[in-house]
Structure 1
Amino acid sequence: MSRRVAIVQSNYIPWRGYFDLMASVDEFVLYDDVQYTRRDWRNRNQIKTPQGLQWLTVPVRVKGKYSQAIRETEIEASADWAADHVKALSLNYRRAPFFGQTMEWLRTLYEAPPDMLSALNRRFLGAVAARLHISTRLSDSGSYELAGDKSERLARIAQQAGANVYVSGPAAKGYLDESVFAALGIAVEWFDYSGYSPYPQLWGEFVPNVSVVDLLFNCGQDAARHLKFARK
């Protein structure tokens, strides 16, 4: 019997494709033991507004030359970012069909935010997955023994998770050594992010890669229908 695993860095309220990858596997490992990168998806994402795309960014403390791991990255305690994000979501989605129910749910996720970025991301990822009827097990790379170089480390995590199929995003094709996985009896599959259909969306021409909250505000309980693998 096939057991499929994906290993991905945590993102802040990512787009629907991230959750579709999650829905396509049995276990989704948050790979936050790797280096934090600035101007990336770890602590920010985009929403659609009448004026165009807007970044929602969680302010974090970065030490030295960005040598810290994602799981070591602290959220800036002095900033009132959570209130700002709630305000931005409220202003820009108040005309969305499912604004009331979605905003009430989202507001609770912003209450008493954790101190660490990984914990914040996991809070939102777990909550959104449940909202999309995704039952995939969500785990942390820190729960596994980490050893070896880039490909070997991923392969060893997959092996410890009992996988015989490792599902990866296409961006890893440039560095992933599939022979390392094959030596452990694990097949590599490449996830295809193409072919998503537009869904009803506010503010003009459809923009596909915005935060998943856009999908939830506009489609409500039917949001999962706009994923390929989530239970409809």
Structure 2
Amino acid sequence: MFFTPNFLPSIAYFQKIMETDIININMEDIYVKQTYRNRAQILGANKIENLIIPVNASSTVTANKDVRIENKSKWQRTQLRTIEAAYKSSAFYQFYDYLMIPLFEKDYNFLIDLQLDSLTFCLKAMQMKKTICQATPNDENDVIDIKSKVLPENHHFEPYLQNFGNEFVPNLSVIDLLFCKGPEAYRYLTNQSWSEQ
């Protein structure tokens, strides 16, 4: 099983990770605009907030590992402030923020490095002992593209108390689950139902 590299991956991404001890990251993945490769969704006070990493990707086919981050815009400060506004008052933010903040203090040159570091942060925060391997799949059918797998008809997300809103918003970035449920995030992931269609 190979995973597309994502920034602050979704809850569904982590549910698939639960099925394996070794997380094979597809290093031959082709960068596709407007996907979870350079964005994550969190719940803000009034709406879903998209955390978007600005990148320099040509209009031609570009391998994800070759996509450069555009650091002129100071996106790190904006993203961190958005996360703080959404979660600083949540029950568990203060227990994990020190692990997350370094992601937004470093100037990354390549998107893949940020993706791998954000995955490592999430694994560490949830105390998941997994090995991340950078690999190349032999068969495209072995690659898990989470966005195409998570459809309403084949997945149910059990509601949990979120920081904002009266209505539960499913499958946000796993940091929503982490900051809202803390140590219970791992148990939440193990208790979810998933069916392949």
- Corresponding position of 2:86: 92
- Corresponding position of 1:117: 111
Per the TM alignment, residue 114 of structure 1 is displaced from its structure 2 partner at its CA by 2.1
Distance 2:158 2:130 in 1: 23
- Corresponding position of 2:53: 58
CA separation of 1:195/1:150 partners in 2, compared to 1, >3 Å: closer, same or farther?
Answer: closer
Instruction: Specify the SS of the correspondent of 1:18.
Output: helix
Match status 1:105 vs 2:99: yes
- Corresponding position of 2:170: 208
- Corresponding position of 2:19: 24
Supply the AA of the counterpart residue of 2:34: R
1:175-202 residue CA offsets vs partner (Å, 9 max, x unmatched): xxxxxxxxxxxxxxxxx96233112112
- Corresponding position of 2:140: 150
Per the TM alignment, residue 132 of structure 1 is displaced from its structure 2 partner at its CA by 1.7
Supply the AA of the counterpart residue of 1:45: A
Distance 2:144 2:68 in 1: 29
- Corresponding position of 1:178: none
Per the TM alignment, residue 168 of structure 1 is displaced from its structure 2 partner at its CA by 7.9
- Corresponding position of 1:218: 180
Per the TM alignment, residue 91 of structure 1 is displaced from its structure 2 partner at its CA by 1.1
Question: Are the aligned partners of 1:23 and 1:135 in contact in 2 as well (CA < 8 Å)?
Answer: no
- Corresponding position of 1:227: 189
Long gaps (5+) in structure 2 = 193-197
Matching residue within 6, 28, 42 for 1:11: 6
Supply the AA of the counterpart residue of 1:150: E
Supply the AA of the counterpart residue of 1:203: F
CA-atom RMSD, angstroms? Answer: 2.5
CA separation of 1:60/1:227 partners in 2, compared to 1, >3 Å: closer, same or farther?
Answer: same
Match status 1:126 vs 2:120: yes
Identical pairs, percent: 24
Q: Computing the radius of gyration over CA atoms, which structure comes out larger, 1 or 2?
A: 1
Greater relative CO, 1 or 2 (CA 8 Å, sep 6+): 2
CA separation of 1:53/1:25 partners in 2, compared to 1, >3 Å: closer, same or farther?
Answer: same
Q: TM-score, normalised by structure 1?
A: 0.73
Instruction: Specify the SS of the correspondent of 1:227.
Output: helix
Q: TM-score, normalised by structure 2?
A: 0.85
